[in-house]
């Protein structure tokens, strides 16, 4: 195991964010279609490029939108903590700023809810692709409605101890990757991933897989191999109550790898990826498959189920391990929000790197 007490590599931070967007955009047109239909349209291994169906060619969905609002809020929380003389990366303000950022995203979903007074998410709110409805999850919308009714955007409604709802949907897990950016200790990354997810997903199988996702990303950005990162994340998972489903799902993914070549048929025995435990298991199975990054990401979306979310999570993991250049150029160039993701990645690397900006006004997050 390498020494993980290092700063996250900027190219891997970028890879994690871009990879998530690419997996999301690749999987979006496939969501809900059966494997047979996907193969009929796109060939035996699924699409090798973005297709124009659903939201448009290379278009992201709610997974990438919310991942970006997560990243923004965490940089903001860390910078605020430093300005107050506190420890960097932790940000006790993080859950409140995350909720405020999600409520800004919520404004773009066309739902009626009370004005919140406070805006989160900074310049992301000015990006049209982030403020438009792209297949948001029902649990997330319902939970944000409940939070919005209180009109206290920066006071988190849901925590793992006092859940907001009981959803085990994958909506908390698919946006958790940035929770691994600021924390070198897997326990801290795991905790923050759970906190961020529990704002809208109150079932342990809705927030614990987000902890797994965040802890894996944290280790990968700092030089761990995929197997090592999974081991570290599972060790954290074992310490948390309510972990049975997520442990079993990951155990199933591990044993499946020894049963034969990685195929969509085998992958589908892990479920459709609609719940957090299934989504992380599918993403991990595809990320650990043999072959190049391209074929592993295609596997992550080529199944009957929540292809954009399993693609997004798998893309986060692959990008955090192999960096942005590991993805084919046609995917990097064709992605809808590539430049916004690049700008956001730079702000994350500045905040969580060796020399965080001293002047809040000059912080890349504010530019």
Distance from C-alpha of 308 to C-alpha of 317, rounded to nearest angstrom? 14
Place of tokens 């406070």: 118
Nearer to Mg ion, 136 or 182 (CB): 136
Do the beta carbons of residue 264 and residue 34 sit within 8 Å? no
Distance from C-alpha of 62 to C-alpha of 239, rounded to nearest angstrom? 30
The two most distant CA atoms of the chain are separated, in Å, by: 58
Q: Nearest-CA neighbor of 243 among 193, 203, 196?
A: 203
**Burial degree of 355 (CB within 10 A; 0-12, 13-18, 19+):** exposed
The two three-digit tokens of residue 174, written as one number: 């698919």
Q: Nearest-CA neighbor of 276 among 194, 229, 210, 226?
A: 210
Nearer to Mg ion, 78 or 309 (CB): 309
Judged by CB under 5 A, the residue of 16, 33, 62, 202 near Mg ion is: 62
CB of 136 to Mg ion, least distance (A): 8
270-309 mask for Mg ion (x: CB under 5 A)? --------------------------------------x-
Is 45 annotated in some ligand binding site? no
Nearer to Mg ion, 116 or 310 (CB): 310
Nearer to Mg ion, 61 or 304 (CB): 61
> Which one of the spans 62-70, 181-189, 257-265, 280-288 is the region binding Mg ion (CB under 5 A)?
62-70
> Which one of the spans 64-72, 132-140, 141-149, 281-289 is the region binding Mg ion (CB under 5 A)?
132-140
Q: Name every residue whose Cβ is closer than 8 Å to that of residue 29 and which is 6 or more positions away in sequence.
A: 47, 51, 52, 53, 54
> ∠ CA(206), CA(194), CA(364), 5° rounding?
120
336 binds Mg ion (CB under 5 A): no
CB of 34 to Mg ion, least distance (A): 18
> Which one of the spans 45-53, 131-139, 189-197, 244-252 is the region binding Mg ion (CB under 5 A)?
131-139
Is 49 annotated in some ligand binding site? no
Is 159 annotated in some ligand binding site? no
Nearer to Mg ion, 61 or 275 (CB): 61
133-172 mask for Mg ion (x: CB under 5 A)? --x-------------------------------------
CB of 287 to Mg ion, least distance (A): 18
Do the beta carbons of residue 195 and residue 73 sit within 8 Å? no
Half-sphere exposure of 91 (CA within 13 A, CB side): 28
91-110 mask for Mg ion (x: CB under 5 A)? --------------------
61 binds Mg ion (CB under 5 A): yes
Judged by CB under 5 A, the residue of 20, 38, 46, 63 near Mg ion is: 63
CB of 298 to Mg ion, least distance (A): 18
Distance from C-alpha of 14 to C-alpha of 216, rounded to nearest angstrom? 16
Nearer to Mg ion, 189 or 279 (CB): 279
227-256 mask for Mg ion (x: CB under 5 A)? ------------------------------
Per DSSP, the three-state class of 275 is strand
Q: Return the HEC string of 62-86.
A: HHHHHHHHHHHHHHHHHHHHHHCCC
Annotated binding-site members for Mg(2+) = 61-63, 306, 308-309
Judged by the rule CB under 5 A, the positions of this chain that interact with Mg ion are 61-63, 135, 308
């Amino acid at each position: 195991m390498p020494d993980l007490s290092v700063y996250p590599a900027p190219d891997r931070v970028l890879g994690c964010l871009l990879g998530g967007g690419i997996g999301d955009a690749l999987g979006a047109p496939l969501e809900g279609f059966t494997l047979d239909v996907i193969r009929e349209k796109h060939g035996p291994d699924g699409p090798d490029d973005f297709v124009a169906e659903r939201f448009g060619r290379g278009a992201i969905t709610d997974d990438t939108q919310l991942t970006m609002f997560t990243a923004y809020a965490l940089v903001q929380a860390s910078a605020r903590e430093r300005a107050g003389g506190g420890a960097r990366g932790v940000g006790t303000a993080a859950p409140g700023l995350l909720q405020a950022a999600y409520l800004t995203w919520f404004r773009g979903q066309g739902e009626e809810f009370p004005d919140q007074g406070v805006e989160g998410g900074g310049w992301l709110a000015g990006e049209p692709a982030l403020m438009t409805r792209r297949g948001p999850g029902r649990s997330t919308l319902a939970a944000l409605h409940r939070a919005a009714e209180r009109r206290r955007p920066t006071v988190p409604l849901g925590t793992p101890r006092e859940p907001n709802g009981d959803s085990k949907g994958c909506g908390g897990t698919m946006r958790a990757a940035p929770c691994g950016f600021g924390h070198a200790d897997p326990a801290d990354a795991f905790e923050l991933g759970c906190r961020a997810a529990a704002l809208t997903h109150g079932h342990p199988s809705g927030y614990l897989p987000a902890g797994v996702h965040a802890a894996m990303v944290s280790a990968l950005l700092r030089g761990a191999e995929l197997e090592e990162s999974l081991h570290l994340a599972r060790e954290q998972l074992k310490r948390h109550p309510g972990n049975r489903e997520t442990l079993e799902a990951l155990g199933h993914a591990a044993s499946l790898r020894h049963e034969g070549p990685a195929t969509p048929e085998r992958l589908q025995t892990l479920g459709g990826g609609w719940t957090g435990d299934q989504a992380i298991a599918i993403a991990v199975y595809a990320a650990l498959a043999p072959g190049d990054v391209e074929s592993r990401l295609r596997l992550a979306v080529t199944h009957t189920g929540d292809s954009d979310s399993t693609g997004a999570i798998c893309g986060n993991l692959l990008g955090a391990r192999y960096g942005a250049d590991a993805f084919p150029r046609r995917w990097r160039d064709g992605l809808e929000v590539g430049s916004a993701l690049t700008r956001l990645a730079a702000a994350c690397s500045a905040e969580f790197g060796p020399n965080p900006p001293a002047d809040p006004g000059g912080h890349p997050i504010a530019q």
